[in-house]
Structure 1
Amino acid sequence: MIKLETELEGKGARYADIVDAFESHGFDIGGNWDYDHGMFDKTLADEDGETIYLRVPFDVADGNLDDNDARVVFGTPFVINHIADTDIDQEDSAVLTTTGMEQFKSPVDKDGPIQEKSKWAVEGEREIAELLGNIEIITI
């Protein structure tokens, strides 16, 4: 994992005011969100079973995440490498594999080694800086 140095950490915003900007920059809400926290995820690279993600964690300071008036506070953005399990499991159903319904296998390593760390740190910080030019954040 590479923690990024950005202007975002500790700042906040109203969820409804930022979600469209994040989505227009290629971010999605990560699958492990809950009503009081979550992450915006963006794929930076996806090759040979390894996916480099830029993640922006946040906590909900007021309200619930399913409420557009919820206020969120950002944590430290980071870059992470998920290494997928590309082996075929002989016990799994060939039908599930063929139809793509088995696409949600857990990664072999959720925090795999990252080659070219400085490259991905620069890329992640550039993405965050670009995003910050399009959202209004406040100090909480």
Structure 2
Amino acid sequence: MIQLQTEIEGKRAYFGAVRDIFHSLGCSFCSNFDYDQGKFDALLWRDGGESIYLRVPIYVVDGALDHSNTLVEFGAPFVIKHVVNIGLDHDENSFVTGTTGLDQFQTPLDKDGYIYDKSRWEKAGKEAVQEVFSSINGLLVS
């Protein structure tokens, strides 16, 4: 994992407005969230079963994450690498895995894989955060 120092950390905005902008920039809101915190992910690179993501955590200040008018605060973004098993899996999901080669429900082999060329991915992550920050800057709440 590569922790990023960016301008977005500590800034506040309304969830619905920033969610739409994150989505328009290719980021997804992770469906595995709590009502008091969540995260946006952007795929930076994928090769086979290895993926490098930018992850931007958010924390609820007022409300719950299932409402657009919830006030959230951004945490420190980071870059993370996931390694998944793209081979056959012999469990109840074997049919899906066998026909597609990828089981979206498998636990990653490594949720925080070693990232080679850290300076490259730190730069890519900071650039992606800067693009998001520039797009949401007018929506930030004091």
Whether the TM-score (by the shorter chain) exceeds 0.5 is: yes
User: What is the alpha-carbon distance in structure 1 between the residues aligned to residue 93 and residue 33 of structure 2?
Assistant: 29
Match of 1:6, SS state, is: coil
Identity within the alignment, %: 42
**Equivalent runs, 1:1-140 vs 2, <5 Å:** 1-91=1-91, 94-100=94-100, 102-135=103-136, 136-139=139-142
> What is the alpha-carbon root mean square deviation over aligned residues?
1.7
Tell me, yes or no, if the aligned pair for 2:38 and 2:59 is still in contact at 8 Å. yes
Greater helix fraction, Structure 1 or Structure 2 = 2
- Measure how far apart 1:94 and its partner are: 4.2
Normalised TM-score (structure 2): 0.90
- Measure how far apart 1:68 and its partner are: 1.1
AA paired with 2:65? L
User: What is the alpha-carbon distance in structure 1 between the residues aligned to residue 91 and residue 17 of structure 2?
Assistant: 47
1:93–1:39 Cα change, 3 Å: closer
Paired residues, number: 139
- Measure how far apart 1:79 and its partner are: 0.3
Q: Structure 2: any 5+ residue segments left out of the alignment?
A: none
Q: Structure 1: any 5+ residue segments left out of the alignment?
A: none
